[in-house]
A = this chain, B = another copy of it.
């Protein structure tokens, strides 16, 4: 096991400069953060009201009024501050800083003398504090506020929110824990565990790490105190133990169970704790969970959660496409977890999944203009069914401006806002490049400042140019991820081809003394691939999904007409790859030959023998289908969407 506590390159030192992501990152800073500020202030016409900032104003005594919103409404503000902080790190903005400081001012006033800070239990239900750990989300909200505090502190150096949250953490530590005079509890929604480790790393206060360890170790011990909390149900998948990952001690959990977002936040914290404590038993457990999630319970988009009821995992290979939940937040959580797993076990299997989740199931959560969001990300959408079938109640064929439960919009903002932190990771003498995102980064190796420039049209094209500029020649290893989807690549350093590059854990290591102006050119072959699912995935039997590079593609009604399930494709189908500069902001579309059923000869018949009239065989008409990247679907006229296409027979 290689445990690596070397800090990553800080966000301020990484500028996403060009290409696929730069527009998105700009959008987050320039449009989305301001838009979400308006949403949290209830000033977006037609959007579901949030009241989240108003709750803080009221709790601070600046306004009178009542609490409104979800019991965890505070977390929306916290995630927005976190996202805004990442934005400030890369896009200084005095006005934004003032807004955040104003909110922090309310938080300071809303904080109770003992350190407690939660608008619901301050404004609406003071007598309810610490009474319902299973569902009241108090520690969850505390966790998000801690993450916000760390992000704001790291972006600005300002300590006020950090100090507020340290006081709150100290208070929590004084009332919860294994000691006899404390409450022996943990939160129904994991989150504070990973937040406390961030707080520990930012402050060096080891007590926060210890409290996180307590929460993780305590979780799932039987009998669970949850069984005595209000609303608990032994069997209902919304209210039972495994929904909360509390069915067994975490080291004994070998399958991913329950609410998918909760699971990802818990596993992320477990990975952080394993790293901090060199905890081999945790690492072993995490690897089993990783195999279970990515080998049996993950959509090809990186989506997690096969069922709307409980927003949760179900069982191995149960991956229905139309009823999928695949919450945006769960895929974001998978990215958090994957990044952390790589630090425990440097292997591309983690970063491959991180990339898959990022480019597909996470990015699909936000519209091209940044102003509307998917909560649920199914792989097949038929709007009439979504509107009319009860078991598809959770599926919305169009992104929404906001949600009554608005966890996803600020979550995708904080992810994209901090995207720079996912590109690289460092060990003592190594720099890993995980994601091929156009950027300029600065770091130091053996005390020598190095700047790095990565240029690429990835994911539309597989050519990547890396320029290395150390202030003076310095030796280190540059580890380039060769994605699992790539079966052929070429590499040149300063124009000279590297003959037989060797991969280690899926990374190609270039160990040399780097001099200013050294240039690495990596060309990843990026053909169209038809993907199949394991035969145990019943819903994908006899179907293929189109991928190119890290992108999963889909068919939309806009390009292909209605009734997409009647499209079928040969496994020998040939494809044309075509860059369409005017489509959806500029995307590469994939066109291929396919067949469609012909409706002629059916009239009002519902069932007919294959051999009646024309043979079924003669009833296919050849068509050219156009596929677009899954993450871009739903940005035009609302309609059907399909990822898994039938092989024709």
Contact = CB atoms under 8 A, between A and B. Distances in A.
Interface of A: 237, 291, 294-296, 298, 300, 307-310, 314-315, 318, 323, 382, 384-385, 388-391, 485, 529-538, 541-542, 544-545, 547, 563, 565-566, 568, 570-571, 597-599, 602, 604-611, 615-617, 646-649
Contacts of A606: 294-296, 298, 300, 533-534, 537
A616 B318 contact: no
A402 to B, nearest CB: 22
A536 to B, nearest CB: 6
Nearest to A539: B565
A541 B597 contact: yes
A58 B516 CA distance: 97
Contact of A535 (B535, B599, B611): B599
Assembly of this chain: how many copies?
A: 2
A648 B649 contact: yes
B532 A570 contact: no
A618 to B, nearest CB: 11
A607 B314 contact: no
Contacts of A529: 609-611
Nearest to A544: B610
18 contacts: A298-B606, A300-B607, A307-B390, A314-B389, A315-B384, A318-B385, A382-B538, A530-B611, A532-B607, A532-B616, A534-B606, A535-B566, A538-B566, A541-B646, A542-B649, A570-B649, A571-B649, A646-B649
Contact of A617 (B391, B571, B604, B648): B571
Which 9 interchain pairs have the tightest Cβ spacing?
A647-B649, A649-B649, A309-B390, A535-B597, A295-B604, A391-B391, A538-B565, A530-B610, A541-B565
Most chain B beta carbons < 10 A, residue from A388, A570, A610: A610
A82 to B, nearest CB: 32
A233 to B, nearest CB: 13
Nearest to A385: B318
Contact of A542 (B310, B536, B646): B646
A605 B295 contact: yes
A536 B296 CA distance: 31
A605 B541 contact: no
B609 A530 contact: yes
Contacts of A565: 538, 541
Given A541-B646, A647-B649, A532 B568 contact: no
A54 B84 CA distance: 69
A534 B607 contact: yes
Contact of A307 (B300, B389, B616): B389
Given A609-B529, A611-B530, A646-B649, A541 B570 contact: no
Contacts of A298: 606
A315 B383 CA distance: 12
Contact of A609 (B531, B537, B566): B531
A384 B314 CA distance: 10
A80 to B, nearest CB: 32
Given A308-B390, A529-B609, A538-B565, 5 more contacts: A310-B390, A318-B389, A530-B609, A541-B565, A648-B649
A566 B541 CA distance: 6
A606 to B, nearest CB: 5
A536 B607 CA distance: 11
Contacts of A537: 606
A536 B391 contact: no
A483 B604 CA distance: 18
B610 A532 contact: yes
A615 B570 CA distance: 13
A391 B547 CA distance: 30
Contacts of A571: 610, 615-617, 649
A568 to B, nearest CB: 6
A600 B50 CA distance: 51
A382, A530, A607: residue with the most chain B Cβ atoms closer than 10 Å: A607
Contacts of A608: 531-532, 534
A545 B310 CA distance: 34
A48 B297 CA distance: 36
Q: Among A318, A382, A570, which residue has the most Cβ atoms of chain B within 10 A?
A: A318
A325 to B, nearest CB: 11
Contacts of A566: 535, 538, 541
Contacts of A308: 390-391
Contacts of A382: 538
A594 to B, nearest CB: 12
Contacts of A294: 606
A139 to B, nearest CB: 27
Nearest to A323: B391
B542 A602 contact: no
Nearest to A547: B609
Contacts of A385: 315, 318
A563 to B, nearest CB: 6
Give the one of A568, A570, A606 with max B CB within 10 A.
A606
Nearest to A315: B388
Nearest to A562: B536
A536 B608 CA distance: 13
Contacts of A390: 237, 307-310
**Which of A300, A307, A541, A542 has most B Cβ within 10 Å?**
A542
Given A294-B606, A568-B649, A314 B388 contact: yes
Contacts of A605: 295, 534
A341 B610 CA distance: 28
Contacts of A610: 529-532, 544, 571
Contacts of A295: 604-606
B602 A534 contact: yes
Contacts of A604: 291, 295-296
Contacts of A310: 390
A326 to B, nearest CB: 14
